[in-house]
A and B are shown apart, each in its own frame.
Chain A
Amino acid sequence: MDAKLVNPFISATVKVLETMAGITAKPGQPYLKKDNIAQGDVTGIIGITGEANGTISVTFDQGSILGIVTKMFGEDITEMNPEVADAVGELTNMISGQARRKLEEEGRRFEAAIPSVVTGKNHQITHFTSGPVIAVPFATAGGAFTIEICFEK
């Protein structure tokens, strides 16, 4: 997988959370993920096509997503519910859009599908292609989340 595909998604994640929720997300060290078990409670996943095909997922633990959604809505959100799942889908959509915009500036064109959301402890993440899965952990004041990037070439 082209490593240059990873950085736009990291910077897009930081920008989306900063702009929409005023949340600072600190990226950690990327690593190769070997299993398909989600590192959190809710995952947004979106298919991407173009010069390479793949999927991007964003998995939040409960603390991080409740903190983010509380800031996005300007009101206290204290439990996981369908509104939180909807917000995860929209965040995934925005991260994908922002990253694809950066990639287009480098002359690399990608399109995205409509995101889907999976919830529950130890849920599985199914990437649509068989390439390596690069995971990037992030820390926020409320908790952790992880993005996964998987492209076929």
Chain B
Amino acid sequence: MEEYLPELARRMVDGFAVTLQLLGWSALFASVVGAALAAMRVSPVPPLRAFGTSYVNIFRNTPLVVLFILAVEGLPTLGVIISFKWFAIITLSTYTAAFICEALRAGINTVDVGQAEASRSIGMTFRQTLGIVVLPQAARAVIPPLASVYIALTKNTAIAAAFGVTEATGKLSNLIRDFAPLLYASFFSIAAGYIAIVFVISGVAAVLERRLAVAR
């Protein structure tokens, strides 16, 4: 036991450091791509709308593990040789962007169409309409679904354990191998780590929601 605890602590720090890297980069890229996709889907340009819709339909409907296999097994055959951590980040971002797009679009749809019509009628461009009028109002409505997407992303990072990345879940496999009798202790410690991350995300979401709330 005195050997186990320091080892557990050390491996949890190592493992969750990687999990947080996966989560941070994927959340960033997915948010940028997702926002662009949402803008395409609500834009007045038909080819952009079609592209946005196709992206969402393809990547939201493909199991994440299949995307992982395509990236990790396929991209290297095309000459893309990067670290497995970046394969995981690319895959997670590609997949999560579709969900971010839909969460944002749902928020945009909560803003009455009259608002957009009014801003267009006073001569605002599409960019201004979206940026100054619609998105600030939509932001309020998207916080709960966006928090869910980021929480799902946190848990999805665990799939990387089967694709060459030793993150928290990979460390759990190693702990089970090295300390077989302490299976439950290892399991609950790693689970607690994920719960802590999820608590932070939902906490931030709750604060934002309260800040942005207005009486209507």
Answer yes or no: are A and B bound together in one complex: no
Task: Enumerate chain B interface residues (CB-CB to A < 8 A).
Answer: none
Task: Enumerate chain A interface residues (CB-CB to B < 8 A).
Answer: none
